[in-house]
Structure 1
Amino acid sequence: MNNITDIHYGPLPADSPYVKPFRFHYTQNGKQKSWDLLKVHDSVSIVIFNVTRRKLVFVKQFRPAVYHGIISGDGVEPGSIDMNKYPPEIAVTMELCAGIIDKPISIAEIAREEILEECGYDVPVDRIEQIIRYRSGVGTSGAEQTLFYTEVTDADKVSSAGGGVDDEIIDVVEYGIEEARQLTAKGTVITSPPSFLFGLMWFLANRAPKDA
């Protein structure tokens, strides 16, 4: 996954298909205000539990935004990135299976496709349960994310699928329930988004086997 070199960055092209920056103007209590925002796609995320082996199925991938957040937080300037001090591995996140809503099909179908493409399980829509919708990036985008839950078996695994499509590079990882529980322990530092922790804690509170 991590044969990553030649890291650099620059201004955002106006034709980006994923991010559209703009300025939002409004008046609040008689005072004119503005806020800089990003228009992005809504998305889905899925908690996947393999009941055959009692394992939670997560994904890992390199996230440029996380890498930039780390190096910019240390005051590193573009063009002066020490790849030995800041190897790409520092920005490999552990996440739920997820994807953007960019097709004219139901969000459950989007979730089904992501489960197959990223994790390699072929699951019918009627086994994918919608749990909750919430807003992410409330300071910048306010995009909606829908959390789903599905239980899979080893028989659902498609040998040729998983790991992402197109230019995605995704590793699939499995955690036992107690191992996953430790990710939420007090004092833990984890390179994961809030949606991952929320989905994990939802599972532990609502669907984890009682004897786990």
Structure 2
Amino acid sequence: MDKISSVSKVELTNSDFVKPFRILYEQDGTKKIWDCIKIHDSVTILIHNVSRDVFVLVKQFRPAVYINQAASHGETGSEVNTEKVPGHLGLVYELCAGIVDKNCGWNEIAQMEVLEECGYQVPLSCLEEITLARGGTGVTGTKQAFYYARVTDDMKVSAGGGNVDEGEMIEVVEISVAESLTFAMDQSIEKPVGLIFAFLWYHQYKAPKSIS
């Protein structure tokens, strides 16, 4: 998954998923310009395997993270020296997630993503909506729904790994709930802020409270 080669940056002229555009407006009489990107809304799921008290995450190569890592290593040109910037620098731990691109309920999309990426067949009754938030407010302003899914080993029906036909390469990983806060705050581990939020939410609202 991290055997990356022949990396280069080219101009984006057309995309099915990312649509850049510019907004012209006036704010308190001052003319302004703001550049934005249109992308899909999304769902993301904190999967809790209660059989073994672990969180089920995904790990995958993220080109945008890799390119930023390359820049921090002095690779700012159109091509990246992959010997200097190895592929593992682009690997990111994330919650199971997916874009809203189907004509069905968002919880149904979350259910499908859990099966596709992590291999668990989760009844909709085991999916709890945590909250709905705006992501990328400076650039995209899209909605992202957070869900909490309680699963058991008995619900595991496949290895997961994502949709191979779409080129997805996903590794399913497990993090002990007991160690999850340490994991979340470890700056050496690449992860998005949504994962940190979900772990903190669980420990605030779901974790068993000790009686003092």
Structure 1-normalised TM-score?
0.93
Q: Provide the secondary structure at the position in 2 that maps to 1:190.
A: coil
Match of 1:40 in 2: 39
Match of 1:181 in 2: 181
- Given residue 168 of structure 2, which amino acid in structure 1 is its aligned partner? E
Correspondence list, 1:72-83, <5 A: 72-83=71-82
Correspondence list, 1:1-212, <5 A: 1-14=1-14, 16-159=15-158, 161-165=159-163, 166=165, 167-185=167-185, 188-210=187-209
CA distance in 2, matches of 1:21, 1:73: 25
Q: How many residues align?
A: 208
- 5+ residue gaps, structure 1: none
Runs of 4 or more, structure 1, over 4 Å off, are none
Q: Provide the secondary structure at the position in 2 that maps to 1:173.
A: strand
1:22, distance to aligned residue in structure 2 (A):
0.3
Instruction: Please tell me whether the aligned partners of residues 10 and 78 of structure 2 are also in contact (alpha carbons under 8 angstroms).
Output: no
Q: Provide the secondary structure at the position in 2 that maps to 1:11.
A: coil
Instruction: Please tell me whether the aligned partners of residues 55 and 174 of structure 2 are also in contact (alpha carbons under 8 angstroms).
Output: yes
1:74, distance to aligned residue in structure 2 (A):
4.1
- 5+ residue gaps, structure 2: none
Q: Deviations over 1:70-92 (max 9, x none)?
A: 22344423344221221110110
Structure 2-normalised TM-score?
0.93
Instruction: Please tell me whether the aligned partners of residues 7 and 79 of structure 2 are also in contact (alpha carbons under 8 angstroms).
Output: no
CA RMSD in angstroms, aligned pairs only: 1.5
1:38, distance to aligned residue in structure 2 (A):
0.2
CA distance in 1, matches of 2:187, 2:178: 15
